[in-house]
Amino acid sequence: MCRRNAVTHALLNNNAHTNLFLIQEPWFDTIGTTRNDSAHQGMDVLGGVASPGWEIIYPAIPKGLWPKVMTYSGLGKCCNVWQFWISCSVVLYSVEISLSITERK
């Protein structure tokens, strides 16, 4: 996705047939500000693109770095996603997927 906010929003909002996205090089930047007594202007809160129909599953992100891959799981769709790490390496990302069969009408 080349760290593009608008492209990620377009992908998430216009895809009704996908249950899971693994996005490489996701947009990850300031999404808000939190209060902090030692910082007069507050501290930036970093995050990825949010969309009402998708749950973001963040990898373990070392302080000062950005994620290389982020997982988006469709809310109310057929799979539940849990993330786990085999290693603390920044380049290794492992996702466990549990599928539940849903009857479509």
Please give the residue that has the higher pLDDT: either 76 or 48.
48
Distance separating alpha carbons of residues 69 and 61, to the nearest angstrom: 10
Check residue 81 and give its pLDDT. Answer: 61
Q: Is residue 105 part of a domain?
A: no
Q: Is the pTM of this model over 0.85?
A: no
Considering only CA atoms, which of 54, 56, 55, 65 is closest in space to residue 88? 65
Domain count within the chain: 1
Coil, helix or strand at residue 31: strand
Whether 24 shows a pLDDT value over 80: the answer reads yes
Structural domain including 76 reads 5-99
Q: Is residue 84 part of a domain?
A: yes
Q: Is residue 59 part of a domain?
A: yes
Q: What's the distance, Cα to Cα, between the start and end of the chain in Å? A: 34
Q: Is residue 40 part of a domain?
A: yes
Q: Is residue 90 part of a domain?
A: yes
Distance separating alpha carbons of residues 97 and 48, to the nearest angstrom: 21
Q: Is residue 52 part of a domain?
A: yes
Q: Is residue 104 part of a domain?
A: no
Contacts of 10 (CB under 8 A, 6+ apart): none
Span 30-45, average pLDDT: 86
Cβ neighbours, 10 Å, residue 51: 16
Residue pLDDT, tens place only, 40-54? 888 888 899 999 889
Answer for the pair 63, 72: CB distance below 8 angstroms, yes or no: no
Considering only CA atoms, which of 22, 3, 28, 20 is closest in space to residue 77? 20
